[in-house]
Chains A and B, each alone.
Chain A
């Protein structure tokens, strides 16, 4: 009995001790494994990224690159949690909204020297406007690999069925204004279909409304980012216009209403051109892609950006920076631009973009993509963006109801936003 019990105890002890000890035995490998976090899980994207990684391996046989897809909605949270847990990736995609947080904190490794040293890289052809947000003290901390304009996708079938003018007709007549766009959306809204959708806004991500309020010359904060300008007249006018479009004209789906443009259920949607891949292949509708309408402040364009940075806390920062230089060199940028338009001047012409965006016509490419990237402002961003985003969101909820006090709410937002901006 006692003999058996001793054995049982020994086995139990081994069962506990072995797994604990095993991690210590794991051997360090000589090969370098780089990991990049991304927010896309699209098969076509991953195939291209893996091809680029394979190309890098030819010159660097001991380096492997893996891509880790994290969910879009919680991407930055997941990334910072990895960093907090001491498990930072070597390279990471970064949203334009959180660019300031990453660049200013010192979390990223400066790339300028590595990029300039790479053969044929030609960093100078990337416009200063595109690199502004990703630089500090003359050094580039993340490369803006995607510079994608926002534009209006249109379902001409629904608009014609509602008896309204199509955006193309309005553009030809010089009448493509927000006033007229909402009138057409309202006509479709009254037929029971959705009118105009600002995609990804969902009454949560208010920063996507920039695609509308820039037409009024409105901005949530001043150029230097220190003062709140939500309560100023352009913003009050723009938000009142949006409120009126939602609740009085029924031209935009209200809070809690789920309508999908790409399923053919809405007249128009504002989103980035890369979403063209969502257009239905079976039973397609007559669609068009047009620039954003003219607002009271005139014509305007908006671009969304995404950067690739090398995490300072990684083990192989130099190698990771070399990989970023390879991934974003002119040759690979051309490949990437079929999904992520490049800010390189040599790639911003109709011939190149026509090849990489077969769904778009030459006219759409010239009017929407090229002129959008050339003239567009980047989505707003700020240090501490997540907290600013949440503060504005929770207060804006009061605007998204029929009997809202728009100027009063905006005033209240500035009261709370001011201290956060000044920090």
Chain B
């Protein structure tokens, strides 16, 4: 019995201090991620909450009034007659961009996935637009696409009368898509190239021995094995395509008509040009929902189409 108090005292003394090894480690961990975490809280999460808050108000910047209007801005989304056209333009842009970008990137990656002399030069060449400033790139394309610009000048050499690229609805949309694809196709190309180089050679050898033609090898071996990369690039490209702004602002200002007014450009106009910050915030909530739903859908789809995931 006399041992018990002694035992208790010794347990009290030997009880571990607050800063155990595990706690120190996790504190260090938290401190290391803190800059990023604080950044996300300040620049992403708080603005996101504020945008939702603004979307419930009518905010007149000039008159300095901020009035709670409940769901009125959301009703406006349904009643806005321009919005259907804007969402249509956004869909055309996104689909056009994703299809063209992904297929071109894959084609380039397959072509450049060969052991030839000087192949690195070509890879660099196709990747270089990715590191060029977006605005500079777009301004140069803006000059080329003028009616009396470089592209039509070149066509004229072959006796072809080029269209007024940025002033006709169809060609304006094609132009902004192509300018954006050329700018970013290099990034997807590099990702595909890395994935292609990860496909084991033995599989192709086996297929060749079985007499499978090249196209069948591509469809049955290459595509399934690089499908995780296809999923990743398609998510990045779709999300990116919904956020396009600078190209539209520089090349077409949303015209002719509303034919190239995509959602981001439309919400910029509403908020920053027309001073309807409340409605602009509501439109950005709409964009957020669209991006979230598309990403979620793709993520769900991966179970069916992505063949191999480690």
Q: Report Cα–Cα, A102/B275, bound state, in Å.
A: 12
Instruction: Report chain A residues within 8 Å CB of B35.
Output: 16
Interface residues of A in 83-120 (CB under 8 A from B): 83-84, 101-102, 105-107
Q: Is B147 an interface residue (CB 8 A)?
A: yes
Q: Roughly how many angstroms separate A266 CA and B277 CA in the complex, as a whole number?
A: 42
Interface size on A, residues (CB 8 A): 39
- List chain A residues, Cβ under 8 A from B254: 394
Contacts A390-B269, A397-B255 aside, 17 further interface pairs with beta carbons under 8 A come to A8-B28, A80-B275, A84-B59, A105-B63, A204-B253, A204-B255, A255-B147, A256-B165, A256-B167, A257-B146, A257-B148, A258-B148, A386-B275, A394-B257, A394-B258, A394-B261, A398-B256
* Cβ contacts under 8 Å, B27 to chain A: 9
Report A141 CB to chain B, min CB distance, Å: 12
Q: Give chain B interface residues in 247-270, CB to chain A under 8 Å.
A: 253-258, 261, 269
- Distance in angstroms between the alpha carbons of A105 and B27 in the assembled complex: 52
Chain B residues in the interface with A (C-beta under 8 A): 21, 24, 27-28, 31-32, 34-35, 38, 59-64, 146-149, 164-168, 253-258, 261, 269, 272-275, 277
Is there contact, CB below 8 Å, between B32 and A12?
A: yes
A13: interface (CB < 8 Å):
yes
Q: Which 3 A-B pairs have the closest CB atoms?
A: A256-B147, A397-B256, A105-B62
A315: shortest Cβ distance to chain B, in Å? Answer: 14
Q: Is A23 among interface residues, defined by CB-CB distance under 8 A?
A: no
For B255, list chain A residues within 8 Å (CB): 204, 393-394, 397
Contact between B34 and A80 (Cβ–Cβ < 8 Å)? no
What is the distance, in angstroms, from A201's C-beta to the closest C-beta of chain B? 14
B residues near A386, Cβ cutoff 8 Å: 273-275
The answer for the CA separation of A80 and B257 in the assembled complex, in Å, is 25
Instruction: Report 8 cross-chain contacts, Cβ distance below 8 Å, ordered by A residue.
Output: A6-B24, A76-B273, A80-B61, A255-B147, A258-B148, A386-B273, A393-B255, A394-B261
- Interface residues of chain A, those whose CB is within 8 Å of chain B, are 2, 5-6, 8-9, 12-13, 16, 76-77, 80-81, 83-84, 101-102, 105-107, 203-204, 254-258, 312-313, 384, 386-387, 390, 393-395, 397-398, 400-401
Please judge, given known A-B contacts A390-B274, A394-B254, A398-B257, whether A80 and B62 are in contact too, CB under 8 Å. Answer: yes
Residues from chain B with a CB closer than 8 A to the CB of A12 are 28, 31-32, 34
> Is A387 a contact of B274 with CB atoms below 8 Å?
yes
Chain A residues with Cβ below 8 Å from B63 are 105-107
Partner of A400, one of B34, B59, B167: B167
